[in-house]
A and B are shown apart, each in its own frame.
Chain A
Amino acid sequence: MAHSAWRATVVAMLGVLAIGGRDPQQEQPIGTENGEWRYWGADERSTRYAPLDQIDASNVAGLEVAWRWKAANYGPEPDFIYRATPIKVGNRLYTVAGQRRTVVAIDPTTGETLWMWRMRDNPRWEASTRKNYGKAVAYADVGGRGVIYAITPGYYLVALDAETGVPVPSFGLNGIVDLHLGLGTYAVHPDSGVLADGDITASSPPIVVNGVVVVGNSHDRGYYPTKKENVPGHIRGYDAKTGMLRWTFHVVPQPGEFGHETWEGDSWTYTGNISAWAPLSADAARGLVFIPTDTPTNDYYGGERPGQNLYGTSLIALDVATGRRAWHFQMVHHDVWNFDNPDAPKVVDVMVEGRRVPMVVQTTKQGWAYVLHRETGQPVWPIEERPVPQSDVPGERTWPTQPHVTRPAAFEQQGITEDDLIDFTPALRAQALELARPYHMGPLFTPPSLLAAPDGTKGAFVVPGANGGSNIPGGSSVDPETGILYVATEHGHSVISLVPGPEHESTARYVSTGPGGIRGPMGLELLKPPYGSIVAIDLKTGDHLWRIPNGDTPESLRNHPAVRGVDLPVTGKRSHANVLTTRTLLFYGEGRRGDPWVHAVDKATGREIARIALPATTNTAPMTYMHDGRQYIVLAIAGPGVEAELVALALPR
């Protein structure tokens, strides 16, 4: 690790030289600057924090709709989901919309569309498995010209003039770089150019750091794959001015590279995924970019990829100038739980026991916030390798130990026992026990099992389930002024049952039947509440400060005849709240499965100060900015029967 620390120091020095500005030893900026919101996550550090205070506890209840922007017409048909978070640079907002992932510029005062750009129809768009997942765009100042960068569903990187929306001709080929090029040797359909034996696209924007456009990727869902093979999600860095490839980092290490031995046999030749599908973060002053990765192919069976499987389910710190690994931390060895790292890591400096610690914090589906020193990757508080239950599925060799975070405490329930099943009434309790009986229960990292196991069981609980815990729609926010992390978390389970792949038209030996599983009795939740929460964690100490439910008790539970007469607690919704922090308040929307409110909360106590009605539920992470002396909060909303749109809230003039 001393080697890594030395390398990080060198990287930091180079970073200072490269940008000719911030010294990494000095304090980081506090959230956004100049009322802007230049990145998906507010700033390069993905804090989702803005030091704005025009809207505060005294006036927040008076928020009203300033403008609405309709996203529904940007695609072949309307969407009823919208996952975009605009960025704000200068006098414009920029974002993406619809199945085509059309890039748009919007007036921040009125919501008027100023320009739009979309790629021509292309078979690779048709084949894309993540058409409407484009969460945002990236921005950089390149030689005095503002440039917007986006990744299309067909996996092309495009650079657009921020003023006009016209592709920058000096970048790539007329503004476009084909991201299939340089991935490796993969068969494609000759007429369409679509990959024949795998898939790769992107569901997040790139990030521009010190003149390098760093590009992640994503793949189709891996629950029930047709193949054991796929394309690895290698990370690439491109010159922000020319679009020339600067470097490639192999997320499946090639022969001779560090970590190659973690792939036994020839599994490195065909295993794919390990995508960085969540947005990326950076510490430009140190010259580092942080890459959160997901599970290798396939999500729930690893018998065809024996070994520890670096860099699956890891956080990787890369030197952005060279693409070389500064350090890595693998959250889950040989992941068979689909515990993807689902959010951009938070980069923040926090005083711990009198010393300023440069942290990078990864919140996860499995309910832990991994707090690491970002120069070295070393845990700030101990993370211990502990033995975990082992798989009995033929061919599977689960890793004997897994990292266990000792501090902060988990923000979500991990693992399951019978005590965790609902007990609103004795009858419901009895039914819940009966429903759960065929499935393995156990602690976190209890492995998936067979649908038709010799012992008569039908699968295994995974808690938290496929949605987490924390995940991308809600994610987390950190207040750099106080060092407090706010995590939106969902309380739920998956039941994972494995079936033979050949019986399901798959080349994989086993695949899962899917990520869902059983409900509780009569369609109720199986687990006790709370079903969704926001948790405040003090990164100075690792202590939890407070926990509040995500909204009220859902109507579907309150009105359910099986609990008539039962005195229910406030359960919150099984939905990922969408959080945003300002200098004065924490805001959260209830998420897609919540009610159409945005709540304003006292950051210190979790006490609700106000709630503002919206035309539909929030869908993803909101943003805020200041323009012409007025603070706005912008939320992406949609829902059953309500087409996708942005809604901007502000105080009355």
Chain B
Amino acid sequence: MPRPIALALAVFGLGVAFAPPATAQGGDTTAADSGLYSEQQARRGQTQFTRACIRCHAPDAFTGTFIESWSGAPVSMLLDLVSSTMPEDRPGSLERRQYVDILAYILELNGLTPGQRELPVDQGQLEHILIKRRP
């Protein structure tokens, strides 16, 4: 089982916090306030966002309180909701990779710093990456 990672989102200056993910079996966590997606992935995600999302959603809608409300939830939960309901006219029509790229773009919108690796596509891995903010 992959080690759980706390994905910290610096929203509203709340900074970074690390806590065991909700599904964690133990207490080990890895600090990860940056480097969970790549710049290239965010660009791909922005392209997809422009193609599939911007008809209804401004990027502003996915910053601030939106991402705060997902704090503590695994990325997989957000991915499941988005991929099963969006785009509204053709839900599920994007490839899984494209949905994950859009999430990377949303992370970028929220001020998370990119790194060398990409946000993974694998469901098991995403279940252990938490959206988390400092309490």
Contact A562 B57 (CB under 8 A): no
Determine, out of A55-63, A74-82, A136-144, the stretch whose residues face the partner at the interface. Answer: A74-82
Contacts of A515 in B (CB 8 A): 56
Contact A593 B84 (CB under 8 A): yes
Determine, out of A178-186, A216-224, A322-330, the stretch whose residues face the partner at the interface. Answer: A216-224
Check A132/B65 contact, CB under 8 A, given A224-B58, A592-B85, A640-B83: no
Contacts of B58 in A (CB 8 A): 224, 499, 504, 511-514
Is B55 part of the binding interface, using a Cβ–Cβ cutoff of 8 Å? yes
Contacts of A521 in B (CB 8 A): 69, 71-72
B4-37 contact mask (Cβ, 8 Å, vs A): 1 or 0: 0000000000000000001100000000000000
Contacts of B54 in A (CB 8 A): 224
Is B90 part of the binding interface, using a Cβ–Cβ cutoff of 8 Å? yes
Complex Cα–Cα for A561 and B78 (A): 15
Number of residues of chain B lying within 8 A (CB) of chain A: 31
A549-568 contact mask (Cβ, 8 Å, vs B): 1 or 0: 00000001000111000000
Contacts of A526 in B (CB 8 A): 69
Contacts of A511 in B (CB 8 A): 58
Complex Cα–Cα for A80 and B90 (A): 7
Q: What's the nearest-Cβ distance from chain A to residue B52, in Å? A: 13
Q: Is the interface of A mostly helix, strand, loop or mixed?
A: loop
Complex Cα–Cα for A497 and B83 (A): 24
Complex Cα–Cα for A80 and B88 (A): 11
Is A438 part of the binding interface, using a Cβ–Cβ cutoff of 8 Å? yes
Contact B57 A523 (CB under 8 A): no
Is B93 part of the binding interface, using a Cβ–Cβ cutoff of 8 Å? yes
Contacts of A415 in B (CB 8 A): none
Is A522 part of the binding interface, using a Cβ–Cβ cutoff of 8 Å? yes
Contact A81 B92 (CB under 8 A): yes
Contact B71 A522 (CB under 8 A): yes
Contact A224 B69 (CB under 8 A): no
Contact A131 B69 (CB under 8 A): no
Complex Cα–Cα for A132 and B66 (A): 30
Contact B65 A435 (CB under 8 A): yes
Contacts of B61 in A (CB 8 A): 497, 513-514, 516-517
Check A132/B90 contact, CB under 8 A, given A521-B72, A526-B69, A562-B72: yes
Q: Which residue of A lies closest to B73 (CB)?
A: A523
Is A133 part of the binding interface, using a Cβ–Cβ cutoff of 8 Å? yes
Residues of chain A from 499 to 553 with CB closer than 8 A to chain B in the complex: 499, 504, 511-523, 526
Is A274 part of the binding interface, using a Cβ–Cβ cutoff of 8 Å? no
Is B68 part of the binding interface, using a Cβ–Cβ cutoff of 8 Å? yes
Q: What's the nearest-Cβ distance from chain A to residue B98, in Å? A: 14
Is A130 part of the binding interface, using a Cβ–Cβ cutoff of 8 Å? yes
Q: What's the nearest-Cβ distance from chain B to residue A221, in Å? A: 5
Q: Of B72, B84, B90, B92, which is within 8 A of A522 by CB? A: B72
Q: Which residue of A lies closest to B74 (CB)?
A: A523
Complex Cα–Cα for A497 and B68 (A): 16
Contacts of A133 in B (CB 8 A): 89
Residues of chain B from 58 to 115 with CB closer than 8 A to chain A in the complex: 58, 60-61, 64-66, 68-73, 77-78, 80-81, 83-85, 88-93
Q: Which residue of A lies closest to B24 (CB)?
A: A561
Q: Of B56, B68, B72, B91, which is within 8 A of A80 by CB? A: B91
Contact B57 A79 (CB under 8 A): no
Check A593/B60 contact, CB under 8 A, given A220-B55, A523-B73: no
Contact A520 B69 (CB under 8 A): yes
Is A38 part of the binding interface, using a Cβ–Cβ cutoff of 8 Å? no
Q: Of A131, A458, A640, which is within 8 A of B65 by CB? A: A458
Q: What's the nearest-Cβ distance from chain B to residue A393, in Å? A: 16
Contacts of A514 in B (CB 8 A): 56-58, 61
Contacts of A221 in B (CB 8 A): 55-56, 88
Complex Cα–Cα for A560 and B21 (A): 12
Most buried by A among B69, B71, B73, B81: B69
Residues of chain A from 232 to 287 with CB closer than 8 A to chain B in the complex: none
Q: What's the nearest-Cβ distance from chain A to residue B84, in Å? A: 5
A105-133 contact mask (Cβ, 8 Å, vs B): 1 or 0: 00000000000000000000000011111
Is A451 part of the binding interface, using a Cβ–Cβ cutoff of 8 Å? yes
Complex Cα–Cα for A561 and B4 (A): 15
Complex Cα–Cα for A220 and B54 (A): 12
Most buried by A among B22, B61, B84, B91: B61
Q: What's the nearest-Cβ distance from chain B to residue A121, in Å? A: 18
Contacts of B70 in A (CB 8 A): 519, 522-523
Q: Which 6 A-B pairs have the closest CB atoms?
A: A523-B73, A80-B92, A561-B22, A514-B57, A522-B72, A513-B61
Q: List 29 A-B contacts (CB under 8 A).
A: A79-B90, A80-B92, A221-B55, A221-B56, A221-B88, A439-B65, A458-B64, A495-B65, A497-B61, A499-B58, A504-B58, A511-B58, A513-B57, A513-B58, A514-B56, A514-B58, A515-B56, A516-B61, A518-B65, A519-B70, A522-B22, A522-B71, A522-B73, A523-B73, A526-B69, A592-B85, A593-B85, A640-B83, A640-B92
Chain B: residues with CB nearer than 8 A to chain A? Answer: 22-23, 54-58, 60-61, 64-66, 68-73, 77-78, 80-81, 83-85, 88-93
A79-B90, A80-B92 given; name 16 further pairs at CB < 8 Å.
A80-B90, A133-B89, A221-B88, A223-B57, A224-B58, A435-B69, A458-B65, A495-B65, A504-B58, A511-B58, A512-B58, A513-B58, A517-B61, A523-B73, A556-B77, A639-B84
